[in-house]
Structure 1
Amino acid sequence: MSSLDENLRSSATPRRRLSREDRQRQLLDVAWRLVREEGSEALTLARLAEQAGVTKPIVYDHFTTRSGLLAALYQDFDARQTALMDAALEASEPTLESRAEVIASSFVECVLLQGREIPGVIAALTSSPELERIKREYEAIFLDKCRAVLEPFAGKKRIPQAGLRAMLGAAEALSNAAASGEISAGEAKDELLVSIVAMVTRTVDTSSS
């Protein structure tokens, strides 16, 4: 068969259309790459369409607005973090040290998997009240999960919200420092582990006094 015949045959073969779920996965992967290479400021729906090799209406159909795209990226990150943490909890020992280590390791590892992209996305999420609300909602779900995991080791008292918020602040700061290379991943996990155990221990001490 001549090369001309082969070209005609290949051009006549229709491309397989991606399912909506697969297309969204493709678009999110390209969006993460764009943030990594060019920063979150460069992430627009038009730029995403160009980089993904699709028409603008396809991208708008999936995300509607840039805010919708940023929210989808954060949701994607949160889903990955939740899956990582749930699997590790399932395999962990029912001790404070083991459960605290899972929380610390899962948080740091998930941020490292996204590299420098997630700090930019998180920063962009604070750019509007709507996006800030989405971020807060996912944070609340994460903190409730942490409370449920840690409270069995906290005596009779409920772990205070202030302590959980402090833990989250430390987790974000340490993870971002590890992602930027300022500290090692091991240092970030160890320091966060110490902070989590100390938070629970303080609650136990308070409940027994």
Structure 2
Amino acid sequence: MGLSLFAAVAALIGGTLLATMRVGPVPPLRWAGTAYVQLVRNTPLTVVFFFVVFVLPRLDIVFSYFAFAVLALSIYHAALVCEAVRAGINGVDVGQAEAARALGLTFRQNLRLVVLPQALRAVLQPLGSVISALIRNTSIAAAFGVQELTGVVQRLTTANPDAVVAVLLGGVVGYLILTLALAGGLAITERRLERTR
């Protein structure tokens, strides 16, 4: 659960920053954001994990496996968050941004105070889908030695060799609980936001 939480927060922050780069007025930042999204989104997550876990240590960048897993998951899902947030930004009425500019707001103030709050409200469900996928994708971290996942499974299967299927079903139930709790939380948040509109 800690892995999902840290990676989700990092992906949401990173993806929102990437989205602001992609819609911003500075061409090199737009190109960099676009290149990042196109490269990462079209790369399998296992390749991202492989690069982070095995290539970065060769470049003398050394963290725990847990930190590497958070990094890999957040790098990959930030690209997906970016596209969801960018779609929300593009969905905000152009007149809103123009009115904010007419009031003298800078691009940054306009984005932070006017555009992003509306965009994030509009893309709550797509962001929920991205985070739900992130939660499920934490299972890939087990193949790369993240002790939070592999340690528990190894202890349970060693203590109860005949209960391997039950342990795996327990994992499935755990993922179901997390993703269904996320979906329920998003539904409640969406209803509250509808009332405040």
TM-score normalised to structure 2 length:
0.33
Larger relative contact order, structure 1 or 2 (CA cutoff 8 Å, min sep 6): 2
TM-score normalised to structure 1 length:
0.32
For the pair shown, the structure with the greater C-alpha radius of gyration is 1
Bigger share in helix: 2
